[in-house]
Amino acid sequence: MDLLLLFAILTSAYVAMAALGLSMDKHFEQVFGTEPKAFYQRLLQSAGWLYLLLTLWFCIQGWQLAIGFVVWFGTLTLMQGSFALLLTYQQRLTSVLLWAAVPLATLSAVLLWTSGFKSD
């Protein structure tokens, strides 16, 4: 299995879960100390859904349709749990990782796209 692909689904699944989580008033306040502006909330929500789909696209490209869905669900489970744990024990890290993961996930998407998902 391709390491770049694995990296891509991990980062993009994290972006999806973290953005969706932080778009909720409760968690946004927990991390940033203020209520989210409507614009930010929208932005986080859209990013969350977008990267959720991006993750699915990675999974289907890497594992075909049927197995791809299974990998997608499993990866999201892992990342939902990881994000929830970070939110409880390392709140600041959630946003730091989110800013780091967005460009990394996007970059790996571009790399995978240009290489046509071939592992060699």
Partner 1 sequence: MKASFRQSMTWLHTWTGLVVGWVLFFVFVTGTASYATQEITRWMQPERPMQSLLVPDAATQFDMAYQQLRSLPQSQQAQSWTVNLASDARNSSALSASWTAAPEPGERRGPTETLYMDTSSGQPIELAEPVRETAGGRALLRMHYALHYIPADTAILIVGLCTMLMLVAIVTGVVAHKKIIKDFFTYRQQKGLRSWLDAHNLISVSALPFYLMITYSGLLFFLYSYMPLAVPLTYGFEPENRDAYYSELMTQTGSGRVLGLGGGGGGPRQAQTEQGGRSGREGRSVRPLPLGQQAEQFTDLSALVAQTEELWGKGQIRSVTITPAARGQAAQLQITPAYADTIRRSRGAGTLSFNAQTAQAIAASPADVAAAEVFGSSMLGLHEGLFADSWLRWLYLVSGLLGCAMIATGLVLWTVKRRPKLAKTGEYEAGHQLVEKLNVATIAGLSFGLAAYFWANRLIPADLAGRQQWEIHSLFLAWGALALYSFSRPVFIAWRDSLSLAAAAFLLLPLLNALTTERHLGQTLWQQDWALASVDLVFILLGLMLGWAAVKVQRKLGQTKHNTATRNRTATVASAEVL
Nearest Cα to 69, choosing from 79, 60, 61? 60
Backbone angles phi, psi at 112, to 5 degrees: -65, -40
Shortest distance in whole angstroms from residue 67 CB to partner 1 = 6
* Closest approach of partner 1 to the CB of residue 8, in Å: 12
Q: Of 95, 118, 107, whose CA–CA distance to 12 is shortest?
A: 107
Nearest to 69 by CA among 61, 79, 59, 78: 59
Alpha helices in the chain (DSSP H): 3-22, 25-32, 38-63, 65-89, 91-115
Asked if 91 and 27 count as a contact pair (C-beta separation under 8 A), the reply is: no
Contact flags string 48-87 toward partner 1, x per CB under 8 A = ---------------xx-xx--xx-xxx-xx-xx-xxx-x
Q: Which stretch binds partner 1 (CB under 8 A): 18-26, 36-44, 50-58, 99-107?
A: 18-26
Q: Which is nearer to partner 1, 13 or 109 (CB)?
A: 13
Per CB under 8 A, 117 contacts partner 1: no
Q: Should residue 89 be labelled a site residue for partner 1 when binding is judged by CB under 8 A?
A: yes
| Binding residues vs partner 1 (CB under 8 A) | 1, 6, 17, 21, 24, 26-27, 63-64, 66-67, 70-71, 73-75, 77-78, 80-81, 83-85, 87-89
